[in-house]
């Protein structure tokens, strides 16, 4: 069950007219925090993100199941989406099964939520996209920023460019 604060942040994002993926990001952030706190681990950053997205769908975020991916992933996402949109709950899993799932996650490393692991995941995800797709996403992001945020982003970009030029 997501924390109350996470649900509130996601609702605030929705009120502000932000995208479903932004709302879902609050749940992913919560998952990363859980892993960093040592509540449980994850096999990879990808798994940690998947858990967060699943929670988001179950909480009613308008995040459609993916078009690509394995049949199992699509089916699971569709089930979570339906659950968050009024479908009746499936019969509750047994205590034995629940504790087995928790134990399995507890055995995993917490390095899946490290800055290094997330950066690696981000880069590999970006590499799968075309340059024009990344560029249009950046242009769209600029439109959602206010003047102060835009100025801060420009300063950060200049700093990044400078850091990479000297390296």
- DSSP for the chain reads ---HHHHHHHHHHHHTT--HHHHHHHHHHHHHHHHHHTS---SSHHHHHHHHHHHHHHTT---PPPSSS-HHHHHHHHHHHHHHTTPPPPPPPPHHHHHHHHHHHHHS-SGGGSHHHHHHHHHHHHHTS-HHHHHHHHHHHHHHS-HHHHHHHHHHHHHHHHHHHH-
Q: What is the mean pLDDT of the chain?
A: 93
Q: Are residues 122 and 150 in the same domain?
A: no
Q: Are residues 148 and 122 in the same domain?
A: no
Quickly state the pLDDT bin for 167 (edges 50, 70, 90). Answer: low
Query: What percentage of the chain has pLDDT greater than the value 70?
Result: 99
Judged against a pLDDT cut of 70, whether residue 108 lies above it is answered with: yes
Q: Is residue 97 part of a domain?
A: no
How many domains is the chain built from?
Answer: 2
Quickly state the pLDDT bin for 134 (edges 50, 70, 90). Answer: very high
pTM of the model: 0.82
Burial 53-79 (b: 16+ CB within 10 A, else e): bbbbbbbbbebebeeeeeeeeeebbeb
Judged against a pLDDT cut of 90, whether residue 79 lies above it is answered with: yes
Domain hosting residue 38, numbered range: 1-86+113-128
For 31, list phi and psi in degrees, rounded to 5: -65, -45
Q: Are residues 82 and 136 in the same domain?
A: no
Judged against a pLDDT cut of 90, whether residue 156 lies above it is answered with: yes
- Residues 55-60 have a mean pLDDT of 96
Judged against a pLDDT cut of 90, whether residue 89 lies above it is answered with: no
Q: Is the dihedral of CA 150, 156, 157, 158 positive or negative?
A: positive
């Amino acid at each position: 069950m997501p924390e109350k604060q996470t649900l509130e942040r996601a609702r605030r994002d929705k009120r502000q007219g932000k995208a479903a993926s932004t709302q879902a990001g609050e749940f992913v952030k919560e998952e990363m925090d859980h892993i960093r706190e040592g509540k449980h681990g994850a096999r990879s950053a990808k798994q940690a993100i998947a858990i967060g997205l699943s929670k988001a769908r179950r909480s009613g975020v308008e995040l459609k199941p993916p078009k690509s991916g394995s049949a199992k992933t699509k089916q699971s996402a569709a089930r979570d989406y339906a659950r968050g949109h009024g479908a009746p709950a499936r019969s509750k899993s047994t205590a034995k099964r629940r504790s087995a799932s928790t134990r399995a996650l507890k055995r995993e490393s917490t390095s899946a939520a490290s800055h290094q692991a997330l950066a690696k995941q981000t880069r590999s995800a970006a590499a799968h996209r075309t340059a024009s797709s990344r560029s249009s996403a950046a242009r769209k992001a600029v439109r959602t920023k206010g003047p102060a945020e835009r100025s801060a982003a420009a300063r950060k970009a200049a700093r990044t460019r400078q850091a990479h030029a000297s390296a």
